[in-house]
Amino acid sequence: MDDEQLIDHFPRLFHVTQAGAWPSILRHGLLSTRALLDLYGVDDAARAGIETEPRPGDVVLDDPALGRAVVRDNRPLRVDILGRCLDGSIADWCRMLNARVFFWATERRLEHHLRARGHRDQPREVVVVDTARLLARDSDALTLCAFNSGSALYPNAPRRGPDSFVAVGAYPFQELRARRGVRDAVVEVCVEHALVEVAAVAECVWSLRAGGEREEIWRASASAQPVAPR
């Protein structure tokens, strides 16, 4: 897959976060779990279980200067199912997930996620990122995934392992497009570690109330220009 194909077919990407998180995201960026634990100075003993095991519930981080942050549960990773579809250890898979920031590649995938039973009645925010701006700045940190990497709920869960996250240029887009169609050829777009200076690549932010009502709470200036590639 080349950059132009990614931009043409998936021009906007969607990241779901905690309600009220946008001011902190503007300051610190969109952080992976690992980067968030670094920011809050969580020690090795406390972070081992957070980073290497599926989390049955949310983990709340609190700091007088930084405020409150929530590391979301990953209950869709059922250990029994994950163990059968995984090449490698569960700890290594969890480390890979916790080292990335995830975006849904289509609004249809976003809506499916928002309707999932575990969190459908909770208010949330969605950061909408412009794919072209993201690629112009952070292409070296981007990988693509062909399935929902944070879910292993059913016996037919996709096989996964260290090769599941693929650089854009090596991604088998044509093969997956022929089998699934364009909109299902890419499921997740991932950024390693953190996405800083989010306002330079974001298009807008939605606030989602319980029940699905959507309100735009931030929009990029029409004159905003992407920053130079790093």
| Domains of the chain, earliest start first | 3-219 (3.90.210)
Asked whether 200 and 132 are in contact (CB, 8 A), the reply is no
How much is the pLDDT for 230?
Answer: 37
- Residue 222: its pLDDT value, please? 67
Quote the pLDDT of residue 120: 75
Distance (Å, whole) CA 76 – CA 70: 17
From start to end of the chain, where are the E strands? 12-18, 30-31, 59-63, 67-71, 100-104, 124-130, 142-145, 188-192, 194-195, 202-208, 214-219
The stretches in the chain having pLDDT less than 50 are 226-230
What pLDDT, on the 0 to 100 scale, is given for residue 227? 45
What mean pLDDT is reported for the chain?
93
User: What is the predicted pLDDT for the residue at 210?
Assistant: 73
Buried (b) or exposed (e) across 168-180, using 16+ Cβ within 10 A? beebebeebbeee
